[in-house]
Amino acid sequence: GTKSERAGRAGALAAVVYNYENESVSGTLGAPSPDHVATFGLSGGDAAPYVKKLKNGEKVEATAFMDAEVKTIRTNNIIAQTVQGDPDNCVMLGGHSDSVSEGPGVNDDGSGSLALLEIATQLTNFSVNNCVRFAWWSGEEEGLLGSNYYAENLPEEENMKIRLFMDYDMLASPNFAYQVYNATDDANPVGSEELRDLYIDWYTAHDLNYTLIEFDGRSDYDGFIRAGIPAGGIATGAEVKKTEEEEDMFGGRAGIPFDPCYHQSCDDVGNLNMTAWELNTKLVAHSVATFAKSFEGFPN
């Protein structure tokens, strides 16, 4: 791995100390070189930093020290809803406001957070029939904590008011693809086909290619799907490498990740493809405008 990946592992262990007392983590480093040193900076207690020279392919295992300081922190989702519009029929959309500790998270998920903020601001100039509810989730990177808490704790009556949830996580990856979450009957019975088709129709109408991706449980739609709320979303790709076919469809470079700075310190303000961000933000706006107006043709 790269230096920053290793730094990432060290940071991950520090997070383990914070949240999961005693949990064990492991990692393997790649080709041999003199700088293959794993440093696990344990904070608190008597835990001294654990430093070990690694040989090629050697595995490191570390267990968070029992006497390391364990802190419980409280985080907050930010939820905002339009004053106007039927409060019993809401379209909800969200991005996550946190990042991993290794980097600023400007693409992941500043790109989604900022799209929502811009659209919420612009929405003050329009009227809506259905209520629009925005969410900036906390703790996504620690295991979808904010969105899971929210979706799991909705009373039945409140659950029924959310007709649709739209997830916007990573909209401007530098080596982007336009990805649409697929709603297939077999694997994802409650993913929204109506929403998927809205995205597909929009990309098609703008002469743009798209690929369908699976709900893999890695973003904030997950709690909603498990709560029986139709959901979907778009993304531009994370650590997976672009294929030749995708290079032909979207440009960029095959063989490198959609976001080479995924979960790293270089996910900074320079890590955005602004063409993708602007286009996708327009599509997010289109999704809000459509469902703020009507849920016609939608399951009840």
Q: Residues with catalytic annotation?
A: 140
Q: Is 187 in the site for ligand PHE (CB under 6 A)?
A: no
238 binds, among ligand PHE, Zn ion, none (CB under 5 to 8 A by kind): ligand PHE
Q: Which stretch binds ligand PHE (CB under 6 A): 42-50, 120-128, 199-207, 214-222?
A: 214-222
Q: Is 170 in the site for ligand PHE (CB under 6 A)?
A: yes
Least distance in Å: CB of 91 to ligand PHE?
Answer: 21
Contacting residue, 90, 238, 284, 288, with ligand PHE by CB under 6 A: 238
Site size with ligand PHE, rule: CB under 6 A: 10
DSSP 8-state code for residue 285: H
Least distance in Å: CB of 195 to ligand PHE?
Answer: 16
Nearer to ligand PHE, 169 or 246 (CB): 169
Q: Residue 271: exposed, middle, or buried by beta-carbon count in 10 A (0-12, 13-18, 19+)? A: buried
Give the count of beta carbons closer than 10 Å to the beta carbon of residue 89: 19
Q: Which stretch binds ligand PHE (CB under 6 A): 12-20, 67-75, 212-220, 287-295?
A: 212-220
What is the rounded distance in angstroms from the CA atom of residue 264 to the CA atom of residue 107?
11
Q: Which contiguous run of DSSP H or E holds residue 224?
A: helix 221-226
Contacting residues for 114 by C-beta, under 8 A, at least 6 apart: none
Please report where in the chains the tokens 């041999």 appear, as a residue: 32
Check: CB of residue 165 under 8 Å from CB of residue 92: yes
- Reference 70, options 26, 24, 15; nearest CA is 15
218 binds, among ligand PHE, Zn ion, none (CB under 5 to 8 A by kind): ligand PHE
Paired strand residues for 28: 59
Binding site for Zn ion (CB under 5 A): 108-109, 169, 244, 247-248
Nearer to Zn ion, 82 or 264 (CB): 264
- Applying the rule CB under 6 A, the residues between 132 and 151 that interact with ligand PHE are 140-141
42 binds, among ligand PHE, Zn ion, none (CB under 5 to 8 A by kind): none
Please report where in the chains the tokens 């409650």 appear, as a residue: 190
Q: Is 169 in the site for ligand PHE (CB under 6 A)?
A: yes
Helix boundaries (H) for the chain: 3-19, 111-123, 145-152, 156-161, 193-205, 221-226, 244-250, 274-293
Q: b/e for 230-255, b at 16 or more Cβ within 10 A?
A: bbbbbbbbbeeebeeebbebbebeee
Q: Which stretch binds ligand PHE (CB under 6 A): 128-136, 211-219, 249-257, 274-282?
A: 211-219
Nearer to ligand PHE, 97 or 219 (CB): 219
How far apart, in Å, do the first and last CA atoms of the chain sit? 49
Calculate the CA 204 to chain-centre distance. 24
Q: Is 219 in the site for ligand PHE (CB under 6 A)?
A: yes
Least distance in Å: CB of 238 to Zn ion?
Answer: 7
Please report where in the chains the tokens 């949830």 appear, as a residue: 165
247 binds, among Zn ion, ligand PHE, none (CB under 5 to 8 A by kind): Zn ion
Q: Is 167 in the site for ligand PHE (CB under 6 A)?
A: no
Binding site for ligand PHE (CB under 6 A): 108, 140-141, 169-170, 216, 218-219, 235, 238
